[in-house]
Amino acid sequence: MLDLCTLGTGGTMPMPDRALSALYARVNGRAILIDCGEGTQVGVQRLGWGMQCIDGILISHFHADHCSGLPGMLLALTKAMRTEPLHIYGPVGLTQVVNGLRVIAPQLTFPVVLHELTGQTEFELIGMKVVAFPLDHGMPCLGWRLHLPRAAAFDPSKAREADVPVHLWKRLQHGETVTEDGRTFSPEDVMGAPRPGISVLYATDTRP
């Protein structure tokens, strides 16, 4: 399951009823942020989906309303005693920007791993395939496509046709191959056709 929440939806300055750009995406208890505008940590706390579970931050570009919340977010994760590495992805210039912002967040309880991306790039994060692609914004700017694969659905009629004992169904659904009474059953005996995955596109501050 892919859960999404827009913590902020743009604008060059925060408004009483609108925060700056940030999207929270969660898959099976792990999460990423796309953009981290001023006050994003407040939005995360208000949402209540968790802060320690954030494993990556994707920065579209380096205008302040998309990245000025990074120092506060890093310090909030330190206050939560995070120790696992945090991966930050962004366009060329990411290292300079993050290191500059970290002047006010120098001591963290976890390593920060920076990934500067050029052109279209694919990588895996929290069980999703993430595709970064260039946008037209007058400065290096990336859009993001998130794709979550989905396993095939359980097919009880197929399981009955293969004469699979009911008490084995759950184990086979979880990918286990089981041998019982001299017969071997595999997940393919109970699973239907593959299902299409879930895809989300995030593209901000770009010309058509």
Given 3, 35, 55, 65, the catalytic residue: 65
Instruction: Report the C-alpha gap between 89 and 74 in whole angstroms.
Output: 14
- Annotated active-site residue 35? The verdict is no
What b-and-e string marks burial along 173-201, b requiring 16 or more CB atoms within 10 Å of the CB?
Answer: beeeebeeeeeebebebbbeeeeeeeeee
| Contact criterion met (CB below 8 Å) for 189 and 171 | no
Q: Which residues are catalytic?
A: 65
